[in-house]
Structure 1
Amino acid sequence: MNAKIARFLETHQPPTPCLVVDLDIVRANYKALHDSLPQADIYYAVKANPAPTILETLVALGSHFDAASVAEIQFCLQAGANSANLSFGNTIKKHRDIARAYENGVDLFTFDSEQELNKLASAAPGARVICRILMENQGAKWPLSRKFGCEPDMAKDLLIAAKHEGLKPYGVSFHVGSQQIDPGQWITAIAKTATVFADTARSGIKLEAINLGGGFPACYRDRVPSITEYGDIIGTALTKTFGKTPPRIIVEPGRGICGDAGVIRSEIVLISRKSYDDETRWIYLDVGKFGGLPETTEERIQYRIRTHRDGGVTGPVVLAGPTCEELDILYERAAYELPLALEIGDEIEFLSAGAYTSTYASIGFNGYPPLDEYYI
């Protein structure tokens, strides 16, 4: 945990559970990605954390934005973003939401089916459209390989159809999976995308952009490559595949921008064991899956955890949330060990918790309010 957040927590002692985000880290992560991939336009994935202060910070840095809903488009416009710098990247949109986005000046949309294409042609005539292709997500801690995208041969046909429907076939997108710890996955994805470019070119359509998606990681328990390594591998793959004049490059980071900027502080509500000879303690916290930690589902995202009793003897634990719901178990198989000296009322901190936490929090399951949020 960085010194700035530590000082804030020590000075203000905010009630738990709470999320504290350091905007200086948001700025630093944006600049690091920009420096590592200077050829790319950065479209921040608003869904990762749509806090107004984060959006305003990124507007000031010149960021573009990828929105998943009309509400997120409004968040961006209220933060000062130009509608020309927004994309409506969700492939599942209501006709009226497409129309409203278009009326607000958004003219870049993503789709992956004929049915969505028909809605776009009707509600956003002349708009630029990007077709998303399916992609394997090997190496990703949070896969995105089934719900979104279509096979490349279908993408080719859809982009050709887009032209016939009066839309502008603009490019191809993919996503190699969130928290992708293998930069090499972009090599395969870029090569796959190139086949769609070639196939549509043979039909007289010149595509202009590749959306490389997100996937840039935060620092959880596993070691992750540096953002420079991602930039080097992706840049080399683009040059090898498209030569010295590649199409426009778009990236959609979310976790990689604000993940490491945040810390969730939680209070221990209960420590217990399930039998007299059980060495594993169950530690129940005042935050759980429904309060901002849903990415602990299947124990996929494993946060680094800090306590003020670190350095002493440790023992195995199961971590769980406070709700009356069996699903609200955070970690049971991930082999976490925490200090034996921990007591009820102690506070623990989840590090790198700035993304996909507060925005996921229930607004009142079991009567628990969402996380309090502080942006400093």
Structure 2
Amino acid sequence: MCADFTRIRRFLAEREPPTPCLVVDTDVVAARAAGFGAAFPGALIRYAVKANPAPPVLDALVAAGIGFDVAGPAELALCLGRGADPAEIAYGNPIKKPRDIAFAFERGVREFTSDAPADVDHLARYAPGSAVSIRVLLDAPDSATPFGRKFGCAPAEALDLVLRAAAHGLRPGIAFHVGSQQPDVTAWEIGIATAAKLFGEAAAHGVGMTRLNLGGGFPTTHRTAVPSLAAYASAIAAALDTSFPSGRPELLLEPGRVLVADAGLLRTEVVLVAQRDDRRWVYLDIGRYNGLAEAENEAIAYRFEPVDTRGGPDGPVVLAGPTCDGDDVLYQRTPYRLPLALRSGDRLDVPGTGAYTASYASVGFNGIEPLRTHCLGRWGDA
């Protein structure tokens, strides 16, 4: 079901803020959080802060009773500053310095993720007794933005790390991630089956595990429709029943995009329209460096909707950003069509952009300021 951006468009019409800008409805964030919790009753929900760390967004999630998945000390401090309970914060980044582990532990964090022996040793020293989910590398179906080989270890090594963690007095569990914007509802099956096997092998060594971290990856609709959240929840429930017939482990999930993407709409202005080698190029005041980083390799194909309409036919376009970098091109292969009458100063709306836009924007490449964010609703600041 498509999101309703009526309130956001009303705000843009009334206020006319400078472009580019992102507008987020915090009431929608809270509603999405409630819906996600209902789809996975009893699970521990930890919002991936990297998706959108705007303080009003975090305020809405704190009020909704959602915990947080942080990737470093700055995100942790931000969440604590908004009233988050450290007992409901998971440090999900396997790549972390010992002093960052100590920083989190001193502030009450007791949930970590790891995938390397040295990191397990650091956790034992600087976060003694904590829960640690060992992240397993999977050959899951392709997602829009996969993690590649950067995170996770082979199942055999994961068992070694589980036993290592237990020997150090840590409380091991298993984690995996199927990649961001995952369109396949069955993608979690292989991870759940792998985890069940590791649970059994660890038990044979005298180590009992109770926690399974399913990660995130739940998608949102852009130009291509994706299955409903209910379809994902149903497929995951069936996989858990198959792999854990004697009873499910405690689940932890780390949704990001699915909670905030459809709460946001980005407005951009046309800077220039030009013909290049028989192709019409449309240059926008937003590009890969100031908000649309996920257009890299044309992985996420956003919708672009004209605000200023004059009627008449449309035609194919190449979409590019405003910077002097030759790589700041959004879409050359993905087919887009916009009105032939489009000209400098016209505006376009990009719906479904509440996630991984402002948080990815550079701090000043080419002197362009970070993407402005306006938040509406009960927890809004606009």
Q: TM-score range by the shorter chain?
A: over 0.9
Letter in 2 for 1:325: D
Rounded Cα–Cα distance in structure 1 between residues aligned with 2:9 and 2:105: 44
User: Which of 13, 18, 23 in structure 2 is aligned with 1:20?
Assistant: 23
Match of 2:253 in 1: 251
Per-residue CA deviation, residues 46-66 of structure 1 (Å, 9 max, x unaligned), is: 010111111111011110110
User: Which of 197, 202, 220 in structure 2 is aligned with 1:200?
Assistant: 202
Rounded Cα–Cα distance in structure 2 between residues aligned with 1:314 and 1:142: 30
Secondary structure of the structure 2 residue equivalent to 1:334: strand
Tell me the number of residue pairs that the alignment of Structure 1 and Structure 2 aligns.
372
Rounded Cα–Cα distance in structure 1 between residues aligned with 2:235 and 2:312: 41
Per-residue CA deviation, residues 161-183 of structure 1 (Å, 9 max, x unaligned), is: 111122222x1000001000111
Rounded Cα–Cα distance in structure 1 between residues aligned with 2:122 and 2:214: 24
Instruction: Indicate if the aligned counterparts of 2:140 and 2:190 stay in contact, CA closer than 8 A.
Output: no
Secondary structure of the structure 1 residue equivalent to 2:359: helix
CA RMSD of aligned residues (A): 1.2
Instruction: Indicate if the aligned counterparts of 1:90 and 1:110 stay in contact, CA closer than 8 A.
Output: yes
> 1:1-376 counterparts in 2 under 5 A?
2-169=5-172, 171-243=173-245, 245-275=247-277, 278=278, 280-308=279-307, 309=309, 312-376=312-376
Shift of 1:311: 6.4
Greater shift, 17-26 or 134-143, is seen at: 134-143
Shift of 1:310: 8.3
Rounded Cα–Cα distance in structure 2 between residues aligned with 1:341 and 1:198: 64
Unaligned runs of 5+ in 1: none
Shift of 1:245: 2.2
Using the aligned pairs only, state the percent identity: 47
Rounded Cα–Cα distance in structure 2 between residues aligned with 1:11 and 1:142: 36
Per-residue CA deviation, residues 163-220 of structure 1 (Å, 9 max, x unaligned), is: 1122222x10000010001111111221111111111111011111111000011111
Shift of 1:248: 0.4
Task: Pick closer, same or farther for the CA change 1:52–1:103 going to 2, 3 Å.
Answer: same
Per-residue CA deviation, residues 343-365 of structure 1 (Å, 9 max, x unaligned), is: 11000111110001101111110
Instruction: Indicate if the aligned counterparts of 2:5 and 2:265 stay in contact, CA closer than 8 A.
Output: no
How high is the TM-score relative to the length of structure 1?
Answer: 0.97
Shift of 1:122: 1.4
Instruction: Indicate if the aligned counterparts of 1:137 and 1:143 stay in contact, CA closer than 8 A.
Output: no
Shift of 1:89: 0.5
Unaligned runs of 5+ in 2: 377-382
Instruction: Indicate if the aligned counterparts of 2:312 and 2:339 stay in contact, CA closer than 8 A.
Output: yes
Instruction: Indicate if the aligned counterparts of 2:138 and 2:190 stay in contact, CA closer than 8 A.
Output: no
Rounded Cα–Cα distance in structure 2 between residues aligned with 1:298 and 1:365: 20
